Amino acid sequence: MEEAEIERWEVIGAYDPGSEVVSLDIGEGDGGDASNLSSPSSPSIDVAPPSRVRLKIRQVINQSREEVASGVVWNVAVELCWFLWRELGHGCKWKAPESFAFVELGAGTGVVGLFLKCCFASASVLLTDLPDALGLLRGNIELNGLEGQEAVSSGGEAQICCRGKLEVMALDWREPGGKVRELLEKDNGWSCLKIAVGADLTYSPECRQLLSEILKDDSHPLSQIPWLIAHQHRDPISISEEEIFRIFGPLCSRILVASQDRTSRFKSDVGSFGFFLFFPKGCPAAFPEETAALLSLLEPAFTRAHSNHHGAASGD
């Protein structure tokens, strides 16, 4: 008998007439063993990584199309969490330095960013989306007991360093790079971003155009760090891997593609997910040590490359 599709999550209660709270487990076991489970509650950086991460996420129901787009837990976001769990050795292969910071683009409900914060408590995570989505993000931070994490100064107001904080920030992809840099560095002390993550960022033509404009601007803060992107192919409304190369390839020095033998957690979606590592042209020739260490763990999963120098996809 064919194995049944796993449950993405369990609805554990209504939040208000327009939303519900779901429980989501990422990691080992079948949900019955909570011997080393993060729920989480601001875990100490000295605590061993959890064997599983359990998140409580509020998502919207019966709302407008715009609210649903950013307000529900999509399969592709869960799939990205599992990908990170596998490739980073269940949180054991790599310990995030205190100066390391992830930024989640188009965070929506915050699943990916909250998962990263649970796995790598010493790292900082910045959840970004349009202003209308920030209330849901802040609510999910509180729902998981992660509110109130502050920035720690590394010496002087001009050198605020990201040390284990978790914050939400409005980020409109239409803003010019200079304004985004000012917002990140001066207003919020987020000058230490090392890698961007995002799920389903390329699903619409408008999103693809806005992301392209960011990548074209070598001075934009987001064009100077790698991007780990998860994409779900939804024929006929979404683009193919080849189209991703065509649109974004000329704007990156390299794009890496994860092996197709990576199996989906959702039987109905097997083969429909793609994982991409973008290296924008604005990235430095050599990454900082902490970024290079993370990339060294991720890159073995990416067995095909599209190089701007060759203009075509190829195997390793």
Domain range list for the chain: 74-315
Confidence of residue 151 (pLDDT cuts 50, 70, 90): very low
Average pLDDT of the residues in 26-51: 45
Count of CB atoms situated within 10 Å of the CB of 184: 22
Contacts of 80 (CB under 8 A, 6+ apart): 112, 197, 199, 228, 230, 275
| pLDDT tens-digit series, residues 84-110 | 988 886 656 777 888 899 999 999 999
For residues 6 and 175, which has the higher predicted lDDT (pLDDT)?
A: 175
Per-residue model confidence (pLDDT) at position 310: 44
Phi-psi region at 129: left, alpha or beta (left = phi > 0; alpha = psi -120 to 50) = beta
Calpha distance 211→106 (Å, rounded): 11
Tell me the two tokens of residue 94: 């790599």
pLDDT at 164 over 60: yes
Confidence of residue 189 (pLDDT cuts 50, 70, 90): confident
pLDDT at 251 over 90: yes
Average pLDDT of the residues in 116-136: 92
Per-residue model confidence (pLDDT) at position 266: 56
Number of H helices, E strands in the chain: 8, 15
Average pLDDT of the residues in 199-225: 94
Per-residue model confidence (pLDDT) at position 198: 97
Superfamily of domain 74-315: Vaccinia Virus protein VP39 (3.40.50.150)
pLDDT at 4 over 90: no
pLDDT at 230 over 90: yes
pLDDT at 24 over 90: no
Average pLDDT of the residues in 281-301: 93
Per-residue model confidence (pLDDT) at position 160: 39
Q: Give the three-state DSSP class for 173.
A: coil
pLDDT at 156 over 70: no
Per-residue model confidence (pLDDT) at position 154: 36
Confidence of residue 161 (pLDDT cuts 50, 70, 90): very low
Q: Give the three-state DSSP class for 137.
A: helix
Per-residue model confidence (pLDDT) at position 185: 80
Calpha distance 288→133 (Å, rounded): 32
